A and B are shown apart, each in its own frame.
Chain A
């Protein structure tokens, strides 16, 4: 317990670091995953292929491998990420996490799109909306209703997955607190890991509650 209080600044900055990482990766994966879902239902076969290929690769690869590719392999082939406050692994971490999570977002959104009665898209096309207009103004807004709960699970899983980013070297992220403290020698493992777990809960539980509120809001407005 003492260790927790003593190391509070370290925990606090780790907490903020995880929050920041999760926020960027959440926005990135939601936007990109929705784009991928629109590829998957597009009338153009090449776009459908890209969507399917992305989902197949990222949904079936271990996250650790994806993160290592973004952090170490991509820079070797010339794709470099800027540093973030002097941290070289922040953006590769965000990008890898977002690329991986986008595959799951895509499938959740696609399921939502398929749950919208086909007559809606037909009526949209019949009045002259293009595919993009029909998707953006008619289908997706209705799909999002049924998609909020599964997307919530995807995002909460992503927040927990962000610990892996800490484990492989984004310092200033919650899970890296464990590495930092164990290196000092004074290491009451149980209380420190409990502290870390509690910090994650402080992020994930309100996220879940927020999603429930959002779900009810959307439910009412129709």
Chain B
């Protein structure tokens, strides 16, 4: 008897034209596990993240979320995506909707939650990420850090089984990075299953159970944060760490 992993990728390959972006990816993420994905720019981290909810289709292999194989494009896929929260580097809040509308839209449209319930729950989430007082503003009126916290609230409003983060703090001014990482750290501590592409070493050490290092579309290392940061096994990881730790 083994328990079903929350995410399972087996023998996944993907090309963009001639470019082999994901090479034979095998990865299982257990329920409640927090995995940080590291690697140089262009190594395929975003693509990996985006294949898990099929924003990018794969060429071959299998991806399962909570034991269910990713469906083809259509209603079943939309239903699966509703259970997988995603946070983008560029926030991607709905520009023509207020912050509260951003958080209630999918629960109302996809989950068929009543508006009053959706707003109550939405306000609780905005409260939790510390931007309840911004509820009636439009995204462009908020700082980057506030927008990213709203985007996290939007994803959480669907009560997802797993959360994917693709460099959630890379587009932020330095003074706003921590307000977003704090929300993520709390989420991790509460037991959310998370796959986080980030170069924030502090977050990785503090919140991650596991670090994956990618290079050229391959998973090169898969270990604990302590082991990875203190004794990386591969030369590429050493090289990478040397670069990001010196600046």
Contacts and interface: CB of A to CB of B under 8 A. Distances in A.
A141 B84 CA distance: 25
B243 interface: no
Contact of B106 (A129, A141, A222): A129
Interface in B43-78: 53, 55, 73, 75, 78
Interface residues of B, number: 29
Contact of B110 (A122, A127, A141): A127
Contacts of B105: 127, 137
B240 interface: no
B147 to A, nearest CB: 12
Contacts of A119: 88, 90, 92
B155 A127 contact: yes
B94 A138 contact: yes
Q: Interface majority SS on A: helix, strand, loop or mixed?
A: helix
Contacts of A142: 95-96
A142 B151 CA distance: 19
Interface in A125-140: 125-130, 133, 137-138
Interface string A96-125: 000000000000000000000101101111
A129 B109 contact: yes
A43 B95 CA distance: 23
A184 B7 CA distance: 83
A127 B138 contact: no
Interface of B: 53, 55, 73, 75, 78-79, 81-86, 88, 90, 92-96, 105-106, 109-110, 138, 140, 151, 154-155, 158
Contact of B92 (A43, A120, A128, A129): A120
A128 B81 contact: yes
A123 B110 contact: no
A120 B95 contact: yes
A111 to B, nearest CB: 18
Contacts of A120: 92, 94-95
A: interface residue count bin: 10 to 19
Nearest to A130: B78
Contacts of B106: 127-129
B99 to A, nearest CB: 13
A125 B78 CA distance: 7
Nearest to A218: B96
Interface string A126-169: 11111001000110011000000000000000000000000000
Given A119-B90, A142-B95, A222-B140, A127 B81 contact: yes
Given A128-B106, A129-B109, A222-B138, A123 B81 contact: no
A122 B46 CA distance: 13
Contacts of B138: 222
A129 B53 CA distance: 13
Contact of A126 (B55, B73, B75, B109): B55
A123 B78 contact: no
A128 B158 contact: yes
A141 B96 contact: yes
A117 B93 CA distance: 11
B96 A222 contact: yes
B110 A128 contact: yes
Given A129-B110, A130-B78, A222-B138, A124 B88 contact: no
The interface centre, meaning the residue of B82, B88, B94, B110 with most chain A CB atoms within 10 A of its CB, is B94
Given A128-B78, A133-B110, 18 more contacts: A119-B88, A120-B95, A122-B92, A123-B88, A123-B151, A126-B53, A126-B55, A126-B81, A126-B86, A127-B82, A127-B86, A127-B106, A128-B81, A129-B106, A130-B78, A133-B109, A137-B109, A222-B95
